[in-house]
């Protein structure tokens, strides 16, 4: 596959390359990353031709936006596409001496509050353009509005009401003013995309973890709905936060937690099929989502130049159609998952 071939982002009018750069690792997700390594990683991506960069205030609690912005602000703005997210406002912690970074191995020491109101969206947008050093953002996403992050269906409904009665108007005003080009939502949880589409005229979704070599339940309801409405799809978390990059090794992560024995066994069986066809597991994981015609782009993360180089090489690798047919025959991918003829 050509990493830089462009695909339309649904009906938005925006086109994205098939390969983008996900910056969560630069926020030090599970692993510390030095400033030198962060800059070298971004430099390797740019030198290789990467022109789509995704970030968020949540990644390292502001750190990823600062790092991406410091690198990109001096690049020709008309050559790059930048996305970030709203929904969290970063604030100084009340007790700095007791600050817990959570699953960020480092990052900045800021607490956050969720805010999907009109003022909250505008505040988040202004904060992001300051951290990024940019005067506009191309794609702006509603971030993490799900039970996983908010704790209960009731709290999700309250936040959704906040968005519907205020935040959405702010997003529309930003788009109408030319300050953003498309409105999306970052989704990790099944069932949320149809809920968004009931309320809002979405341009696209950034779907993390839920359409990968490891799981494809979104083929039952979510993805057919996006096809029907021509809503764009960007795929994040293509490695399910680690397992389909490292393979089933001790300590492998799956969806931000230690992989279970069943998850490890499935990855082991998929890896065995890949090995029989002389294809690295990571190459199959990168290319699989792009076999779906509605998917625009994959945005794997990286925290070293070598990872960027390897990801691009694996996306370019030829994968025989027999590999996908064998995975389907063995029940390791769904029978309705698109594969080459």
Catalytic residues, by residue number, are 54, 59, 85
Query: Exposed, middle or buried: residue 335 (CB in 10 Å: 0-12, 13-18, 19+)?
Result: exposed
Q: Are strands 257-258 and 253-254 parallel, antiparallel or unpaired?
A: antiparallel
Match 């990571």 to its residue by tokens. 282
Nearest to 72 by CA among 101, 98, 50, 92: 50
Q: What's the CA gap between 309 and 145, in Å, rounded?
A: 33
Q: In sequence order, which ranges of the chain are alpha helices (DSSP H)?
A: 35-48, 63-72, 118-132, 147-150, 153-162, 168-176, 192-199, 222-229, 243-246, 261-276, 281-287, 305-316, 321-329
CA distances from residue 220 to 1, 190, 210, 217, 336 in whole angstroms, order as listed:
26, 10, 12, 6, 9
- 79 vs 76: CA distance, rounded Å: 6
């Amino acid at each position: 596959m050509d990493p830089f071939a462009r695909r339309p982002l649904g009906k938005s009018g925006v086109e994205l390359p098939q390969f983008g750069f996900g910056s969560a690792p630069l926020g030090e997700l599970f692993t510390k990353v030095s400033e030198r390594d962060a800059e070298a990683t971004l430099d390797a991506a740019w030198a290789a031709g990467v022109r789509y960069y995704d970030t968020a205030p949540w990644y390292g609690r502001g750190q990823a936006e600062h790092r991406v912005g410091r690198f990109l602000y001096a690049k020709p703005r008309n050559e790059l596409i930048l996305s970030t997210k709203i929904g969290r406002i970063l604030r100084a912690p009340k007790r700095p001496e007791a600050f817990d970074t959570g699953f960020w191995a480092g990052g900045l020491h800021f607490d956050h509050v969720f805010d999907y109101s009109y003022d909250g969206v505008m505040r988040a947008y202004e904060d992001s353009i300051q951290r990024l050093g940019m005067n506009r953002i191309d794609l702006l996403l509603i971030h993490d509005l799900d039970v996983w992050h908010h704790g209960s269906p009731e709290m999700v409904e309250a936040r959704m009401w906040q968005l519907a009665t205020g935040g959405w108007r702010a997003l529309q005003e930003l788009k109408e003013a030319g300050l953003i080009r498309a409105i999306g939502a970052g989704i990790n949880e099944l069932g949320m995309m149809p809920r968004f589409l009931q309320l809002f005229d979405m341009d696209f979704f950034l779907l993390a973890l839920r359409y990968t070599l490891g799981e494809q339940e979104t083929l039952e309801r979510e993805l057919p709905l996006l096809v029907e409405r021509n809503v764009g799809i960007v795929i994040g978390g293509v490695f399910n936060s680690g397992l389909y990059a490292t393979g089933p090794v001790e300590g492998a992560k799956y969806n931000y937690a230690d992989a279970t024995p069943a998850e490890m066994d499935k990855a082991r069986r998929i890896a065995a099929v890949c090995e029989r066809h002389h294809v690295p597991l990571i190459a199959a994981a990168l290319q699989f989502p792009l076999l779906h015609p509605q998917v625009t782009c994959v945005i794997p993360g990286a925290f070293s130049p070598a990872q960027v180089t390897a990801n691009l090489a694996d996306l370019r690798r030829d994968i025989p159609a027999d590999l996908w047919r064998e995975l389907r025959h063995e029940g390791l991918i769904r029978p309705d998952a698109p594969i080459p003829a």
